[in-house]
């Protein structure tokens, strides 16, 4: 839970990440069930740089289109509203990263890790049959935004967090609780609430380091904990995000952090649920999943 001390400081800060007005207006309009592709295109075209980036991403091999998209309204019609939101929020995150400079954290490595988690979340969402895979991508991409906010706005305290990690062997969660009395998960959830993101995304950020049997304990029996079922989880996006971060550790993509692995909402409890071949043992299943996730990441990373 966000500590009162950190909440007060966040509410008084003037340099918090904000959504540019063009992106904010588009996100508000595109969620309407009867949205107009032409009207949304006009909103986007107010920003030439944004227009160019959307068209570049829309035409990338990642989306696998056989025809070239030359206009924004065509991109909206062909790709759909969820993919356009994914592109817009990816560009927003990229903008936030380019403004972040600190010796406390390798932001280039952190950005690549974030892209990896977005791609992994998309892959996992497909495997788990989560309906809106673009939602999973966005959540995976931005799930650790609270770290950037803490690093930029509580620099001295974040320095203490990193020192506890490197010198005392704390995980980042343990160090944050010691210094900030809350975690980057709490801060990230607060940011997305300020941005009026869907509650399921805010909850994913909030709980991705809270074990699912704690976050969901009022709902599930011991039988469920020993044999969890994805579609009965209260926070499925937290599961997807958590597994994506765990795979980042497993695949060597979390180089910005120490080797002191924190707890996760869910990790290996769901690994076997993602593999179609019942003949595979756990280790073989892990190899197959790692390869699939790395392939997804390689396709995705060309966009950034």
Q: What is the pLDDT of residues 75-108, one digit of tens each?
A: 988 888 888 888 899 988 988 888 777 777 888 8
pLDDT top residue among 202 and 31: 202
Query: In sequence order, which ranges of the chain are alpha helices (DSSP H)?
Result: 4-12, 21-30, 37-44, 48-58, 72-79, 81-99, 107-127, 133-142, 145-153, 155-168, 172-179, 184-194, 199-207, 212-215, 222-226, 236-250, 282-301
pTM, to two decimals: 0.90
pLDDT, mean over the chain? 89
Residue 169 has a CB neighbour count (10 Å cut-off) of: 12
Cβ neighbours, 10 Å, residue 90: 24
Distance CA 33, CA 243 (A): 32
- Give the model's pLDDT for residue 107: 86
Which positions ≥6 away from 245 have C-beta within 8 Å?
117, 143, 144, 208, 254, 264
Tens of pLDDT, residues 211-248:
988 888 877 777 777 777 887 888 999 999 999 999 99
pLDDT tens digits, 107-154: 889 999 999 999 999 999 999 999 899 999 999 999 999 999 999 889
Position 202 confidence tier, pLDDT thresholds 50, 70, 90: very high
- Name every residue whose Cβ is closer than 8 Å to that of residue 133 and which is 6 or more positions away in sequence: 122, 125, 126
Integer CA distances (angstroms), 274 to 49, 75, 258, 289, in order: 39, 31, 28, 8
């Amino acid at each position: 839970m966000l500590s009162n001390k950190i909440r007060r400081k966040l509410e008084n800060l003037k340099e918090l990440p904000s959504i540019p007005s063009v992106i904010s207006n588009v996100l508000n309009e595109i969620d309407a069930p009867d949205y107009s592709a032409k009207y949304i295109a006009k909103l986007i075209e107010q920003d030439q740089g944004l227009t160019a980036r959307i068209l570049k991403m829309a035409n990338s091999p990642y989306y696998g289109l056989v025809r070239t998209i030359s206009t924004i309204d065509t991109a909206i019609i062909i790709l759909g509203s969820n993919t356009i939101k994914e592109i817009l929020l990816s560009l927003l995150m990229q903008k936030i990263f380019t403004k972040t400079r600190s010796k406390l954290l390798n932001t280039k490595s952190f950005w690549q890790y974030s892209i990896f988690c977005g791609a992994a979340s998309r892959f996992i969402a497909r495997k788990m049959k989560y309906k809106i895979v673009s939602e999973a991508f966005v959540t995976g991409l931005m799930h650790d935004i609270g770290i950037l906010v803490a690093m930029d706005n509580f620099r001295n305290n974040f320095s203490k967090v990193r020192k506890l990690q490197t010198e005392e062997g704390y995980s980042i969660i343990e160090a944050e609780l010691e210094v900030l009395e809350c975690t980057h998960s709490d801060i990230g959830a607060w940011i997305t609430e300020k941005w009026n993101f869907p509650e399921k995304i805010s909850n994913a950020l909030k709980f991705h380091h809270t074990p699912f049997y704690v976050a969901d304990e009022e709902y599930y029996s011991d039988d469920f904990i020993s044999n969890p079922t994805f579609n009965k989880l209260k926070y499925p996006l937290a599961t997807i995000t958590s597994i994506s971060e765990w795979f980042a550790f497993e695949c060597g993509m979390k180089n910005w952090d120490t080797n002191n692995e924190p707890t996760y909402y869910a990790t290996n409890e769901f690994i076997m649920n993602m593999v179609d071949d019942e003949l595979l043992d756990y280790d073989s299943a892990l190899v197959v999943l790692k390869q699939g996730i790395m392939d997804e990441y390689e396709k995705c990373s060309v966009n950034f």
